Chains A and B, each alone.
Chain A
């Protein structure tokens, strides 16, 4: 994307005033997105993005400048702007650039770019048909297909030269079901770091059925019960909770700001001994994976919780240098237009020994959560709130009436310590995580697990 010589000139300009390091991130992204709405192919968009960002680090501070022009003048201007935030201390060193080999590759067997757009349109038609034939109560179907290839180059003043192409595909389906004035929605959106072979394992019609079933099920929902009770989380959903309530407060920038409930607690027990959780960017073709992070550090697997004890956190370069540790390869950015910050990749609660059916059948009263709508956490206190988009009452060990309007409310450490069963039926959930105005693809995952007591906010009795 850029000659070695130009990259070196940019890095040299970025180090003109000193600082601890300089880094150049260049990106080219081509994308296709197609949207089906109301039975119509409403939107087909082809996109071409490109740009470069230059960062100059000094301590945990940085200067960052970017441009979507890749010519020499624009890049040198960006380098000068980024360098301007450093106090003058004389030019810094530049180590000769050396190509790093990826620890893991995520290849597209059948690149999306090689498939005609007409085929992608056909998949969306299949989604529409499958969702509408699922139930007469299905009123609306919105399906979004997207693929992209993000080509990345990272060059740093300490000699790193990293190139990677990240192929991504996603199919998101939202279904609206209605009956007698009652309207409910269901969503499903599997995604991968892969080519269109991803859809062999995740057929579009199947995705449509999952979304349709969620919407139609919720038509029979009654107001959720309120109060403290047991909650069983279906496979994947515990991962969403883990991501929000534990993963974010373990991001090193939050910890460094002393705004984390986990600050200074490595080694302490912060969850039930049944909980082991990792962040893993090396899982082949998983949505949150990569070969190198956006600072050129190799992808890694980081243990966060081991048998309930806090073991690690998620580092980018700035925070790792400050704490005198190695980066865990969690420096990520939405695009060249954003400086990297510590982010999760694929955050998973690993399988435990319980049987999933037993977990439910031994729960006398509570809520069985099969889809979460997303949530919010205050990392400083660990307080969180999650919307339940699909859930059921548990009565005498059985999932019975669907419930609506439910929220899970609690604090990270208390709730994770209240986990009293972890099964062995791991599954994943893909999303786009937002932080500091940047969205990055993340995976989360977990087996069925039970929280013995948690506050459920609802309107029913």
Chain B
């Protein structure tokens, strides 16, 4: 079986004169264990690898991919990509990035995680469930309890001289708890990810999911009102996904962003600083280079409320007359690189959460929102989402609330930020502290 280096070398060698050819190869070994009632409900072991080939000739781009290819099949993929390129529209900005060696981040790969045996993984999943169902008498079962890990490698090589390769390990724990009282059932979830088990606070995942489900028991619909709204880190992270799309130079260039033509202008409260940083180890999405081999870096997108920069890959950077920010992303070898985030987060503020709750008296803490992806218009920024949460009174969390809707626009919400907490927390690649929004309409009955 050829290794990723051999496959990408074979791809680059198949290039003809005047063509730019790139191979993106990845492979991974992934294990997922779900536990249920003290038993293993499911154990999945997965091995996968593949190569995606970009051919650019005369400004035209073609793509082809193959799962677990032989060297011959990689050459065939180059031929298919070449054929596809002939039908594509010429675009002067199509280009591969020049070679630029990325500083390695060796700590992304943890030998201990890569060596962990299946039995140990099963043990963690069972413990995770056991801890969750022992924490509170109202939680006797879970909707989901999973421990998983992945060991992966990525290699990029091109005719422009890119030769980049790195390995990583990731592990995660997820719990969705079901709290019951009388006829009522409420769900609460939690999730954490780390590079190896020793750094994964999995027991907190269990207790947090339990707490978030039980505290919603007895929830009622609120009456509609305009009140201070506190987004906890879970709810805040859902909104960040909408911002990620709007800050992509691809969306802006295609006039598909609420931030089109707003560079240099205020777009939010001066308390808001929004960053993408592919090198910070505080976030799980750190990587030495992006999905076309460009080194990652720190980019301040919104600095104290002002839109300062956008996320770029090589294509959008050329089109916008700037340099790539190392934000080429793809969904594996099957797709061409688009623009995406790495560690994308709101910088922590200085306000303790207790202080935020004091300032939001009579308001609502939102703990979960649903329908952000369907309910938010990425272009106009309008949204109306369903939410669950808790009433805030006297600086404390009070009665639970369900079937609320929160409707506003992203620009209004960003401008309305009245305090940023000091409790930045990452969920997969997005991170956010607790945030206080001055006033929002919360609709109930």
Contact = CB atoms under 8 A, between A and B. Distances in A.
A46 B84 contact: yes
Interface stretch (A55-63, A196-204, A269-277, A392-400): A55-63
Given A65-B45, A257-B143, A385-B371, A47 B445 contact: no
Interface stretch (B273-281, B291-299, B348-356, B399-407): B399-407
A307 to B, nearest CB: 25
Given A61-B40, A406-B384, A45 B371 contact: no
Given A373-B374, A407-B375, A44 B335 contact: no
A226 interface: yes
A50 B49 CA distance: 11
Nearest to B224: A226
A46 B64 contact: yes
Contacts of A178: 255
A386 B384 CA distance: 10
Interface stretch (B65-73, B99-107, B152-160, B192-200): B65-73
Interface stretch (A129-137, A181-189, A285-293): A181-189
Contacts of A337: 46, 48
B424 to A, nearest CB: 26
B42 A44 contact: no
A51 B67 contact: yes
Given A61-B39, A380-B187, A457 B382 contact: no
A129 B297 CA distance: 41
B265 interface: no
B40 A405 contact: no
Interface in B1-57: 1, 36, 39-50
A63 to B, nearest CB: 5
A375 interface: yes
Contacts of A34: 87
Interface stretch (A81-89, A98-106, A297-305, A417-425): A81-89
Contacts of B91: 40, 42
B384 A43 contact: no
Given A45-B63, A62-B43, A185 B68 contact: no
A117 B375 CA distance: 36
B187 A378 contact: yes
A284 interface: no
A339 B33 CA distance: 13
B329 to A, nearest CB: 15
B110 interface: no
Interface in B169-226: 178, 185-187, 224
A258 interface: yes
Given A140-B254, A385-B371, A407-B386, A42 B42 contact: no
A44 B384 contact: no
B383 A405 contact: yes
A259 B178 contact: yes
A182 B403 contact: no
Contacts of A380: 143, 178, 185, 187
Nearest to A261: B185
A173 to B, nearest CB: 15
Contact of B42 (A51, A64, A182, A184): A64
Given A85-B40, A259-B178, A387 B375 contact: yes
Given A259-B178, A380-B143, A383-B403, A405 B382 contact: yes
Interface stretch (A5-13, A66-74, A357-365, A444-452): A66-74
Contacts of A49: 67, 334
Contacts of B240: none
A374 B402 CA distance: 20
Interface string B357-380: 000000000000011011101011
A387 B256 contact: no
Interface string B418-445: 0000000000000000000000010101
Nearest to B405: A457
Nearest to B146: A436
A436 B143 CA distance: 12
B385 A43 contact: no
A373 B81 CA distance: 34
Contacts of B402: 383
B141 interface: yes
A121 interface: yes
Contacts of A405: 377, 382-384, 407
B254 A37 contact: yes
Given A45-B65, A50-B67, A457-B384, A64 B256 contact: no
B83 to A, nearest CB: 8
A386 to B, nearest CB: 7
A457 B65 contact: no
A176 interface: yes
A259 B180 CA distance: 11
Given A45-B336, A65-B45, A185 B66 contact: no
Contacts of B224: 226
Contacts of B375: 373, 385, 387, 407
B371 A82 contact: no
B88 interface: yes
Contacts of B383: 405
A48 interface: yes
B437 to A, nearest CB: 15
A404 B382 contact: yes
A286 to B, nearest CB: 23
A409 interface: yes
Contacts of B39: 59, 61
A68 B49 contact: yes
B254 A38 contact: yes
The CB with the most chain A CB atoms within 10 A, among B64, B187, B371, B385, is that of B371
A337 B118 CA distance: 19
A67 B143 contact: no
B353 to A, nearest CB: 26
Contacts of B377: 184-185, 404-405
A44 B57 CA distance: 14
B64 A47 contact: yes
Interface in A331-349: 337, 339
Interface in A1-55: 34, 37-51
Contacts of A406: 384
Nearest to B379: A183
Given A69-B1, A182-B380, A373-B375, 5 more contacts: A43-B61, A46-B77, A63-B42, A68-B50, A140-B255
Interface of B: 1, 36, 39-50, 61-68, 73, 77, 80-81, 83-85, 87-89, 91, 118, 141, 143, 178, 185-187, 224, 254-256, 334-336, 370-371, 373-375, 377, 379-380, 382-386, 402-403, 405, 407-408, 441, 443, 445
21 contacts: A43-B88, A44-B87, A47-B66, A48-B64, A48-B67, A50-B67, A50-B68, A64-B45, A68-B47, A117-B84, A117-B87, A184-B377, A258-B141, A337-B48, A383-B402, A387-B371, A387-B384, A405-B382, A409-B386, A455-B405, A458-B407
